[in-house]
Amino acid sequence: MEQPGQHLGGRENIRAAAMTLFAEKGFAATTTREICEKARVTKPALYYHFGNKEQLYTGIVFDAFQEYLKELDQAASRSGSYKEKFIKVITAIFQFCERQPETTRMVFRMALAPEKESPAIDYVQMAEADERLLARIANEALDAGEISCEAVDLAYALIGATRFYLMSFLVTGRPELTADLASRVVCLILRGAGGSAANR
């Protein structure tokens, strides 16, 4: 097993092991011993790299959140119509989940857990970040006269549908989180189902 400060590979092993266990069991039910055994490192190595279990957990969440925000901001800043920007942002959300399913699962699990089961992290602020981004795009479309609904309602509808697909993917492995799916989600919400019942 790795000794304190031996090499940075141990740090990444600890992070990967912790993410898997936190996603499967939650923060409170995961022990430092389990993380070390899964990562094949000693407890002093974990303490050397991260301080303690809580700092390890908050570090994983913070780093993932910063990466997530950066990718969404990049998607939203690309040129295109408001519809194209919605599709790009939702595609970026899908791609992040596909690339980091354990991190996404961990955040979903802990956001819905009782307060005492995880370190004090403002999950509300995290959840509102992508909502605000989509609302900003919707407000731009509203100001340009391209939509007539409330921008915040449109943002909630889009992020609600997106999160449903994320949870379905994490639980069942379906559907594939593709750009085509992102496009279908956006088109469905912008156009509606288009059935005759909508006019009754």
**Scanning the structure block, which residue is given the tokens 């390890």?**
56
CA distances from 150 to 13, 125, 187, 199 (A): 46, 21, 17, 20
Higher-confidence residue: 67 or 195?
A: 67
Question: Using CA atoms, how far apart are residues 100 and 11, in angstroms rounded to an integer?
Answer: 17
Average pLDDT over residues 143-157: 91
Please, what's the b/e burial string for 92-131 (b: 16 or more CB within 10 A of its CB; e: otherwise)? bbbbbbeebbbbbbbbbbbeeeeeeebeebebeebeeebe
The number of C-alpha atoms within 13 Å of 18 and in the hemisphere containing its C-beta is: 27
Q: 35-44, 71-80, 109-118, 156-165: which range is least confident on average? A: 109-118
Average pLDDT over residues 142-155: 91
**DSSP structure class, residue 41:** B
Q: At what angle do helices 53-77 and 8-25 cross, to 10 degrees?
A: 90
Average pLDDT value for the chain: 86
**The predicted structure's pLDDT at residue 4:** 46
Higher-confidence residue: 9 or 172?
A: 172
Question: Using CA atoms, how far apart are residues 20 and 147, in angstroms rounded to an integer?
Answer: 42
Structure tokens that stand for 136 in this block = 């900003």
Question: Using CA atoms, how far apart are residues 192 and 61, in angstroms rounded to an integer?
Answer: 35
**The predicted structure's pLDDT at residue 6:** 47
Question: Using CA atoms, how far apart are residues 44 and 21, in angstroms rounded to an integer?
Answer: 19
Domains of the chain: 1-51 (1.10.10.60), 58-199 (1.10.357.10)
Average pLDDT over residues 91-103: 93
47-74: pLDDT as tens digits: 999 999 999 998 988 888 899 999 999 9
Average pLDDT over residues 76-89: 93
**The predicted structure's pLDDT at residue 25:** 87
